[in-house]
Amino acid sequence: MFRGDKVFEKFEKRVWLSSPTMHGDELKYMKEAYTSNWMSTVGENINEVEKKVCEYTGSKYAVALSAGTASLHLAIKAAGIKVYGMPKSGVNVLEGKKVFCSDMTFAATVNPVVYEGGEPVFIDSEYDTWNMDPKSLKKAFEIYPDVKIVVIAHLYGTPGKIEELNKIIEEHNAVLVEDAAESLGATYKGRQTGTFGDYNILSFNGNKIITGSSGGCFLTDDEEAAKKVRKWSTQAREDAPWYQHEELGYNYRMSNVIAGVVRGQLPYLDEHIARKKAIYERYKAGVKDLPLLLNPFDNENSNPNFWLSCLIVDSDAMCRQVRSENETCYIKETGKTCPTEILESLSKINAEGRPIWKPMHMQPIYRMNPFITKEGSGRARTNAYISGEITDIGMDIYSRGLCLPSDIKMTTDEQDRIIEVIRSCFG
């Protein structure tokens, strides 16, 4: 380990949260797209990505799209049509309908519900996995028994209690849309995330465990849904010799060039997971005697992909910290720390960390939407965050948590220094 002032020397090159790790095959397949002149949304790279994703995950059908968000949008649209039927012309599928959504996630999980005219209802998290709480979901169905679509995300590559959640969903004849954008390669009871829902999605964004710089995938076992999504993603063009359109379409298909990057990355997925896991384990060993907890998972049933290593500070080890909408401050206390102090200290040595996802029910854009905890409506207690009386689990994890540098290219020496910086924050 590093001691003294050397701990706080800046890294010459920035240590990233999670940047792309290239291997060379990506360039070969991109060049093939170039030399064959298949540069648009048709080509062998796209075909191979869809084939390989199905082989790896066990999904029957995959449709390669331009982004994880595009994939989610069409998954939500497909779910809405399955439940409510085709809308009248000019009316969105979910117009006026409530949809249950994970609360602690990136906004892309939720925004497509609004694209389709729906109203997100946020379901609180639970401490065991930081994902959607089954007890809160059960309570939500008691309050809103007519809801027919549930969108669940697997946070930071850790599977939620997906079987327990899905049992509740099935009991209410609802449809599961599974957001596995962060969890490609993670399994629950030996089954890949992204295969539990009626409609599921993956992301190949630049910071994901497998990247195309952009891109995503729609997964399903429903052949008709796969055909429908494939059609929608290419402007819903009908099978006619001219350009004929009978329903709304989108420019969402993955390009053959981006697919070349993804195709070149996919064979290295298991290697990336192993290296991410080693990073997680080194952090866990390095802070084991500190009042911290790394992002937890179900050891018996799940195998995360360890996309990001995160931690939360024990409640009694938190110094005083206050966050506004876009600023934060804290008061240093001996023997205590907070996410803001740790993130500032990491930044000083040129290492990138980030706060935990701010829960959706705390976001200005969604602050008036319903929010459900295991006790019932959580809206009346939202202002407790400001006073420090945090009762909602998502709020609590957000207030005490942060994401650590988790880049595969980070060396063990660099990680050792990061661990020492974390330790110094308790001084």
Q: DSSP 3-state assignment of 98? A: strand
Report the C-alpha gap between 151 and 153 in whole angstroms.
7
Q: What is the DSSP string of 135-173?
A: HHHHHHHHH-TT--EEEEE-GGG----HHHHHHHHHHTT
For 227, residues 6+ apart whose C-beta sits below 8 A from its C-beta are none
Tokens of 232: 């929608």
Report the C-alpha gap between 285 and 153 in whole angstroms.
28
Burial class (CB in 10 A: 0-12, 13-18, 19+), 104: buried
Report the C-alpha gap between 66 and 24 in whole angstroms.
22
* DSSP bridge partners of 293: 312
Tell me if 287 sits within 8 A of 150, measured CB to CB.
Answer: no
Q: Give the position of tokens 């055909």.
A: 227
CA distances from 259 to 155, 185, 204, 266, 284 (A): 25, 18, 10, 10, 35
Tokens of 111: 């925004």
Q: How many CB atoms lie within 10 A of CB 89?
A: 7
**Beta strand pairing call for 98-102 and 149-153:** parallel
Tokens of 300: 């018996």
Query: Nearest to residue 151, comparing CAs of 75, 74, 87?
Result: 75
DSSP 380: G
How far out from the chain centre does Cα 70 lie?
Answer: 14
Give the residue ranges of DSSP H helices in 372-411. 384-387, 393-400
Report the C-alpha gap between 202 and 134 in whole angstroms.
23
Tell me if 79 sits within 8 A of 175, measured CB to CB.
Answer: yes
So which residues are the catalytic ones? 208
Planar angle of CA 120, 66, 228, nearest 5 degrees: 70
